[in-house]
Amino acid sequence: MAELEDKRREIAELIALELGFGDLAGLSATDRAAVDLQTAETISGCGADSAEPSDCTEANIRLRGLLKELHALQILRSDEADARLAEEGEVFGRENDA
């Protein structure tokens, strides 16, 4: 889903700016790796199922908004996958496995 990748890139761009790196396109491989690591940590730390949702308190309003949008896209993607499986006759629960 391109929207999910685009939203993740938006988050990475914002994190790069916050870390003082500037534009993603001009980053060295080392700096890009640092941004990617911070992006992954931010997404997992601020996710709806995170054990420590308070990790988001330091995120600015724009970043929190992007994280909410990413989470919504992840839910949509999961729902679409479930719908495809249902159309194909796949089962969802162990009690349905025979």
pLDDT tens, N- to C-terminus, the chain (98 residues): 588 899 999 999 999 998 899 899 899 999 999 999 999 988 888 765 555 555 566 667 888 888 888 888 888 877 676 677 777 776 555 555 55
Q: Which two tokens stand for residue 7?
A: 């939203």
Q: Domain span at residue 14? A: 2-89
Question: Is 96 a member of any domain?
Answer: no
Nearest to 15, CA basis, from 28, 33, 1: 33
In this prediction the pTM is: 0.66
Distances (CA, A) of 34 to 38, 41, 49, 62, 90: 6, 11, 24, 20, 40
Query: What residues contact 43, with CB distance under 8 A and at least 6 apart?
Result: 8, 11, 67, 70
Number of domains forming the structure of the chain: 1
Is 97 within the bounds of a domain? Answer: no
| Residue at 31 is within a domain | yes
**Residue 75 is assigned to a structural domain of this protein:** yes
Residue 61 lies in a domain: yes
> Contact 62/14 with Cβ under 8 angstroms?
yes
